Structure 1
Amino acid sequence: MADKHLIREKVLRNLNTIDKVEHRERSIKLAEKLFLLPEWNQAKVIGITLARHPEIETEAIILQAKKEGKTVLIPKTFYPSRKMEFKKMDSSHPLTKTKFGILEPHELAETVDKDAIDLLIVPGVVFNKAHFRIGFGGGFYDRFLADFKGETVSLCLYEQQIEFTPESHDKPVSILIEG
Structure 2
Amino acid sequence: MKEKKQIRKQMQQHLADFTKPVYEHSSYQIAQRLFAESFWKEANTISITISRMPEVDTYQIIRRAWEEKKTVVVPKCYPADRTMVFRALMAFNELESVFYGLYEPIEEITVAVEKKDIDLMIVPGLAFTKRGERLGFGGGYYDRYLEGYGGKKIALAFQQQIVPSLPVERHDILLQNIITEEETLEING
Fold equivalence (TM over 0.5): yes
Quote the sequence identity (%): 36
User: Which residues of structure 2 form unaligned runs of 5+?
Assistant: 182-189
Q: Deviation per CA, 1:88-118, whole angstroms, max 9, x where unpaired?
A: 1024972111122111001121000010000
Contact in 1 for aligned 2:4/2:167 (Cα 8 Å): no
- Residue of structure 2 equivalent to 1:169: 171
In the alignment of these two chains, the number of paired residues is 179
**Match of residue 152 from structure 1:** 153
Trace 1:5-154 onto structure 2 (pairs within 5 A): 5-91=5-91, 94-108=94-108, 109-154=110-155
Q: State the SS of the aligned residue for 1:100.
A: helix
Q: CA RMSD of the aligned region, Å? A: 1.6
- What's the secondary structure of 2:100's corresponding residue? coil
Aligned pair in 2 of structure 1 residues 36, 110: CA closer, same or farther (>3 Å)? same
Extract unaligned runs of 5+ from structure 1: none
* Structure 2 counterpart SS, 1:85: strand
User: What whole-Å deviation, never above 9, does each CA across 1:58-97 have from its counterpart, x for those lacking one?
Assistant: 0111011011000011100002111011001024972111
Distance (Å, rounded) in 2 between the aligned partners of 1:95 and 1:59: 12
**How far, CA to CA, are the matches of 1:127 and 1:40 in structure 2?**
20
1:142 and 1:25 map into 2 onto residues whose CA distance is 30
Contact in 1 for aligned 2:153/2:176 (Cα 8 Å):
yes
Q: 1:92 to 1:124 in 2, by over 3 A?
A: closer
Structure 2 letter corresponding to 1:161: I
The aligned amino acid for 1:165 is P
Ranges of 4+ aligned residues in structure 1 off by more than 3 Å:
none
CA distance in 1, matches of 2:11, 2:91: 35
Q: Which residue of 1 aligns with 2:185?
A: none
Q: Which amino acid aligns with 2:124?
A: P
- Asked whether the 8 Å contact 2:133–2:174 carries over to 1, the reply is yes
Between structures 1 and 2, the one with greater helix share: 2
